[in-house]
Structure 1
Amino acid sequence: MKNDYQPPRTNMTSQVILGLLVIGMGLLFLLDNLDILDMHRAFSFWPMVFIVVGTVKLCDTATPGGRLVGGILVGIGVLLTLDRMDIIEFSWRAVWPLALIGLGAVMLVKAARGRRLLAGSSKDGIADDVIDSTAIMGGFERRVTSQAFRGGEITAVMGGCSLDMRGCAIQPLDEAVINVFTFWGGITIKCPPDWTVVLQGTPIMGGFEDKTMAPPDGSKRLVIRGYAIMGGVEVRN
């Protein structure tokens, strides 16, 4: 089967945003050391982190669920920032109900998308060839047994995702790409021993770890792309 799935490539816009964030933090500390700026006041705008992380997710996703998660993070960051600026009254007590509403919206989007995939799939289970898993403030475990795996997207926000693909297969001389995004969470991927794993992720106060054994040949490649922000991504056999 030809791999016509086109995963989202690492977006230059998201890299620019992260680069500007690091430069901005460095400038803030420099101005504090020069007694030009009081960092205590600067740190009062820490909710901007949610806006930056949400924007990175929006720039690096190709699924409706991913865009919804990015929008939720941006929305929470905007509301908390406006509260810090005394423009509106908003507290963490309101964040949890909004997060639950967002989680329900993600479930509805995935349910609708799942019905469309099921309607368009054949007996060989094409719907499992491309994955789309999301965990928000909770855990998600899934086993995939597709014999023509093509890749997909995994998102973990304040939660964990575990994907068992040891029963999967990639067509010889083919490549599957999984786009990952974790923020205050973790992602674990188990793959067959004959797959070559290539990590192309960007860790930010987090990490990517490859615990797989080297296969006898490189005819089957699994490429892991994306971001681990204050979280971790682990791939093992």
Structure 2
Amino acid sequence: MQQVYQFYRTFRMLIKTSTQMEKQPKTDYSRLVMGLLLILLAGLLLIDNFDLYPVEWGKYIFTWQTLLIVIGIILFPNRGNRTTGTVLIAIGAFFLAAKFYELPVSISKLFWPAVLLFIGLSLLFGSRKRKWHPYKTGEVNDDLIDYVSIFGNLDQKFTSQQFKGGKITNIFGGSTIDLSNARPKAGRNVVDLLCIFGRSKLIIPSDWLVKVEVTSIFGGVSDKRVLHKVLPDNTPELVLKGLVLFGGVEIKNY
């Protein structure tokens, strides 16, 4: 029973961190999936409490492998996180099958290859619609961000007066993006974030309207800006989307 409730607490933490975001449209399938999974977990706990299934099932259901599969299922409905969800489901299913069939699989020998496979697939399938360009140092006037930091750090200042958003990927790395001297393009501008065991710092002026629509799992996004005035209704939006998994995003201003 202790193993069951430990899994339950972990799942509750997952649900709590995943829903710490602004309101989503009615077609938020991630919330629907999380709700269904929570109901399913409640049913499994009731079955376990009344000993209605063999004890052996517990060691397969309430495991870290199953938790990976659950996280993958939650992420999969979101198009931007579909590759991440698929890879997590595949890794969890592989190790769960190895445990079920008692295959001689050494987790210590497969962990890092699995991590590298996860990173490689995420970059490979996530890059098909992206326009890659060499990294620039110092101040740049690009309208779009398109940066990847793996086991490293990026520090970039943008001066574009028509900033449109872009993509930032931090995997075991970090980045600092300074938008103090930039201005957003009119309308809705989206930055797609992927932080896995990584951190990103965004320096954004206080007169920018920032909306956070990030899925956070054992991580988070914090807006530490000092806001001095109410913004007008026609203020351009900077929308942060994506996934923060065992990482963090900090928003601040000078």
Q: Same fold (TM over 0.5)?
A: yes
> CA separation of 1:105/1:32 partners in 2, compared to 1, >3 Å: closer, same or farther?
closer
TM-score, L = length of structure 1: 0.67
Residue 164 in structure 1 maps to residue 184 in structure 2 = no
> CA separation of 1:139/1:222 partners in 2, compared to 1, >3 Å: closer, same or farther?
same
State the match for 2:13 in structure 1: none
Q: 2 CA distance for matches of 1:32 and 1:224?
A: 40
Contact 2:219 2:246 survives alignment (8 Å) = yes
Identity of aligned residues (%): 28
User: Superposed, which structure 2 residues align to 1:1-237 within 5 Å?
Assistant: 12-36=28-52, 38=55, 40-43=58-61, 45-62=63-80, 68-86=83-101, 88-92=103-107, 93-104=109-120, 116=131, 128-134=142-148, 138-145=151-158, 146-156=160-170, 159-166=172-179, 167-171=181-185, 173-182=186-195, 185-214=198-227, 216=229, 217-218=231-232, 219-237=235-253
1:204 CA displacement:
4.5
Q: Deviations over 1:60-105 (max 9, x none)?
A: 244xxx6544443232122111112117543321231233244355
Aligned with 1:73: secondary structure? Answer: helix
Contact 2:60 2:100 survives alignment (8 Å) = no
Q: Which residue identity lines up with residue 195 of structure 1 in the other structure?
A: W
Report how many aligned residue pairs link the two structures: 216
Contact 1:17 1:52 survives alignment (8 Å) = no
Residue ranges of structure 1 left out of the alignment (5+ in a row):
1-8, 119-124
Larger Rg: 2
1:148 CA displacement:
1.9
Residue ranges of structure 2 left out of the alignment (5+ in a row):
1-23, 134-139
Q: 1 CA distance for matches of 2:87 and 2:33?
A: 18
